[in-house]
């Protein structure tokens, strides 16, 4: 007689317990998916900068130390709550198609492309990688706006100094770098500058068997950062660097042009709020982010808070149902997107900062795919996004390619305030595509409803629901919880590890009468919460 293998006998990629320490600092905490970038931000806090200054320094540093997730060629959203205020602001530098975007440039193959989204396939995958995959790179505009509207008088050159130093030193050639580059190597090799930087001798870099890793510079990125430090961030869009960038893009065959750059300006608006059971307010980026779906989940779970001390089986089962219903509604009208497969790795970065006064910044920024377009511009060293992948390439469809169009995306930075406007306050977010929403909601539920500490919440096993068709559950959850989840819908039991990446990578900060603290994702090998004292 043949029997199904037990859960305990399922193949495992790891045989250890992962943990990350809490960061607690008098002058604040910076949490990032890379410890060197977080340390750059913490140094800005210690030098007298505020949370916005530190967030900008961290974001630029990430371009040099975590280039596959974000950078000067990316896009994003930030939510900012100033100390003493009760309403947050959104810094919107989300994806926008170039003005010369033409659906005719993306002829269909007649087959489905089961990648990040189950869109129809495009000839040459030109919406997924290469020069026609670029949306307008708005990250520098977002960082500039964050600095101008919410930062101190600290010079931009000071904020860029850590990134310049890290870029000139080069990317660490350690095991995680090997893993990340290897996953994109088959496409990186198609583009000359990308291959030169990331594939020495035609292969991903391999760290030394003993000793310390070497470093490899990222083309002309360091020089571009130095130019911005001297000329100012606006030069990226309306100065000498903008002219060089437009020429760089034209040389490789892209359609983002000087006018697209000149017209690129991040906007600031009041953050939409979600009521959390009458006890808290969740300040979101709103619009075309995951915020409307987060609101649907919050409303669907309003009568089902997790028990004090932590979630139980019934709560997880109810969350599975509510999230699948919310995603069915979100994806309605997107056609084939309802069948989309989820990516196997993170391709976004999130950082959260709180300063000593209590100002909070939650900033999510991305290249979309890991390594974005996989195309490094040869003269400026900018690794460009592949934001055109967010659009359905079928002409006339919902979420279709059009000049200046904005697609639906999955980012979900949030700030939390008590309903009475008091304390404690939180900032949170995550990377991980459509997995982001589930992780952010659960981190909020664990802390706001169950009263868990940041440290306990970050290490609590979670579930993931990335669409209407099923649930993934952390294998560390109790058998009773797994049984309850299986009873309400299709269930896959998976590990929470480095790769395959089955869950998003959240981080969170908290500020209250007892000071500032933060925590990063345990399964992200480079992540850290770095305190400023």
Half-sphere CA count of 281, side-chain side, radius 13 A: 16
**Beta strands 505-512; 425-431: pairing state:** antiparallel
Kindly report, residue by residue over 93-112, the tens digit of the pLDDT.
999 999 999 999 999 998 88
Please state, in angstroms and rounded to a whole number, the distance separating the CA atoms of residues 237 and 141. 8
Q: Greatest CA separation found in the chain? A: 74
Cα 437 to its chain centre, rounded Å, is 11
For 505-523, give the secondary structure using H, E and C. EEEEEEEECCEEEEECCCC
Q: How many degrees, rounded to 5, is the angle at CA 196 between CA 190 and CA 201?
A: 95
Question: Mean of the pLDDT values across residues 63-78?
Answer: 98
CB atoms within 10 A of CB 111: 8
- Say how many C-beta atoms besides its own lie within 10 A of residue 134's C-beta: 26
Please give the radius of gyration of the chain, using alpha carbons only, rounded to the nearest integer: 22
pLDDT at 345 over 80: no
How far from 16 is each of 177, 209, 456, 472, 496, CA to CA, in Å? 21, 22, 18, 20, 11
Question: What whole-number distance in Å separates Cα of residue 486 and Cα of residue 490?
Answer: 6
Q: Note whether 356 and 83 are within 8 A (CB).
A: no
- How far apart are alpha carbons 206 and 329 in whole angstroms? 45
pLDDT digits (tens, 9 = 90+) for 137-190: 999 999 999 999 999 999 999 999 999 999 999 999 999 999 999 999 999 999
Quote the percentage of the chain above a pLDDT of 70. 94
Angle at 178 (CA atoms; ends 172, 182), nearest 5 degrees: 140
pLDDT at 338 over 70: no
Model pTM above 0.85: yes
Whether residue 310 is preceded by a cis peptide bond, meaning omega within 30 degrees of 0, is: no
Tens digits of residue pLDDT in 490-503: 999 999 999 888 99
Is 224 designated active site? no
- Which residue matches tokens 């060089």? 244
Rounded CA gap, 254 and 21, in Å? 44
| Helix or strand run (H / E) with residue 23 | strand 23-25
Any idea what DSSP says for residue 434?
G
pLDDT of 334 higher than 50: no
The rounded mean pLDDT for the chain is: 93
**Residue 268 has which token pair?**
């600031």
Q: How confident is the model at residue 310 (pLDDT cuts 50, 70, 90)?
A: very high
What is the model's pLDDT at position 10?
A: 67
What DSSP letter does each residue of 430-479 carry, written as one string? Answer: EESGGGHHHHHHHHHIIIIIT---HHHHHHS--EE--STT-EEEETTS-H
pLDDT score, position 11 = 78
Predicted local distance difference test score (pLDDT) of residue 6: 43
Confidence of residue 386 (pLDDT cuts 50, 70, 90): very high
Task: Give pLDDT, residue 336.
Answer: 35
Encoded tokens for 214: 């070497």
Task: State the pLDDT at residue 396.
Answer: 87
Q: Is 427 helix (H, G, I), strand (E, B) or coil?
A: strand
Query: Quick check: 3 pLDDT over 50?
Result: no
> Can you tell me the distance from the alpha carbon of 533 to that of 56, in angstroms, rounded to the nearest whole number?
19
Q: Is the torsion defined by CA of 473, 179, 505, 364 positive or negative?
A: negative
Please tell me which residue in 348, 359, 447, 471 is annotated as part of the active site. Answer: 348
Query: What whole-number distance in Å separates Cα of residue 173 and Cα of residue 177?
Result: 6
Q: CA-CA distance, 297 to 342, in Å (whole number)?
A: 20
The average pLDDT across 467-473 equals 92
**Residue 210: partners with Cβ closer than 8 Å, 6 or more residues away:** none
Q: What is the pLDDT of residues 250-284, one digit of tens each?
A: 999 999 999 999 999 999 999 999 999 999 999 99
CB contact set of 431 (below 8 Å; sequence gap of 6+): 33, 69, 346, 347, 348, 349, 350, 364, 366, 504, 505
The answer to whether 426 and 443 are in contact (CB under 8 A) is no
- pLDDT tier at 9, thresholds 50, 70, 90: low
- Percent of the residues in the chain that have a pLDDT greater than 90, as a whole number: 88
Per-residue pLDDT tens for 483-529? 999 999 999 999 999 988 899 999 999 999 999 999 999 999 999 99
pLDDT above 90: residue 14: no
pLDDT score of 344: 35
Taking residue 402's Cβ as centre, other Cβ atoms within 10 Å add up to 14
Distances (CA, A) of 217 to 63, 196, 386, 470: 12, 11, 22, 42
């Amino acid at each position: 007689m043949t029997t199904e293998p037990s859960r305990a006998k399922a193949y495992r990629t790891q045989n250890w317990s992962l943990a990350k320490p809490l960061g607690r600092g008098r002058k604040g905490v910076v949490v990032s998916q890379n410890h060197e970038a977080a340390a750059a931000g913490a140094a800005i806090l210690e030098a007298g900068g505020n949370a916005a200054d530190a967030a900008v320094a961290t974001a630029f540093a990430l371009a040099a130390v975590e280039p596959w997730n974000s950078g000067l060629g990316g896009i994003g959203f930030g939510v900012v709550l100033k100390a003493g205020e009760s309403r947050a602001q959104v810094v919107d530098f989300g994806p926008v198609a170039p003005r010369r975007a033409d659906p005719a440039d993306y002829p269909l193959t007649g087959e489905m492309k089961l990648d990040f989204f189950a869109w129809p396939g495009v000839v040459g995958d030109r919406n997924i990688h290469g020069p026609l995959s670029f949306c307008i790179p708005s990250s520098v505009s977002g960082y500039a706006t964050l600095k101008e509207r919410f930062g101190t008088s600290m010079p931009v050159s000071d904020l860029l100094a850590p990134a310049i130093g890290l870029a000139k030193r080069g990317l660490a050639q350690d095991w995680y770098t090997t893993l990340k580059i290897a996953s994109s190597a088959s496409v990186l090799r198609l583009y000359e500058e990308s291959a030169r930087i990331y594939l020495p001798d035609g292969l991903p870099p391999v760290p030394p068997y003993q000793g310390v890793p070497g470093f490899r510079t990222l083309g002309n990125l360091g020089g571009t950062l130095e130019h911005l430090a001297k000329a100012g961030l606006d030069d990226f869009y309306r100065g000498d660097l903008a002219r060089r960038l437009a020429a760089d893009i034209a040389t490789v065959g892209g359609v983002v042009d000087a006018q697209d750059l000149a017209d690129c300006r991040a906007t600031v608006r009041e953050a939409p709020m979600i009521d959390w059971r009458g006890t808290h307010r969740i300040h979101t980026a709103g619009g075309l982010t995951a915020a409307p779906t987060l609101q649907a989940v919050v409303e669907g779970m309003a009568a089902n808070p997790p028990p004090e001390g932590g979630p139980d089986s019934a709560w997880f089962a109810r969350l599975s149902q509510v999230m699948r219903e919310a995603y069915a509604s979100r994806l309605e009208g997107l056609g084939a997107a309802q069948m989309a497969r989820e990516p196997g790795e993170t391709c976004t970065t999130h950082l959260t900062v709180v300063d000593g006064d209590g100002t909070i910044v939650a900033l999510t920024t991305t290249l979309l795919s890991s390594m974005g377009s996989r195309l490094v511009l040869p003269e400026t060293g900018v690794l460009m996004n592949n934001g055109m992948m967010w659009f359905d390439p079928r002409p006339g469809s919902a979420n279709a390619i059009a000049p200046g169009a904005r697609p639906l995306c999955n980012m979900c930075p949030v700030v939390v305030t008590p309903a009475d406007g008091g304390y404690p306050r939180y900032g949170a977010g995550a990377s991980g595509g459509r997995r982001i929403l589930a992780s952010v909601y659960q981190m909020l539920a664990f802390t706001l409803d169950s009263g868990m500490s940041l440290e306990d919440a970050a290490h609590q096993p979670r579930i993931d629901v990335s669409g209407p068709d099923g649930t993934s559950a952390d294998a560390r959850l109790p058998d009773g919880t797994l049984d309850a989840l299986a009873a309400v819908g299709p269930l896959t039991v998976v590990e929470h590890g480095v790769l395959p990446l089955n869950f998003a990578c959240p981080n969170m900060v908290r500020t209250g009468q007892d000071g500032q603290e933060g925590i990063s994702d345990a399964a992200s090998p480079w992540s850290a919460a770095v305190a400023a004292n």
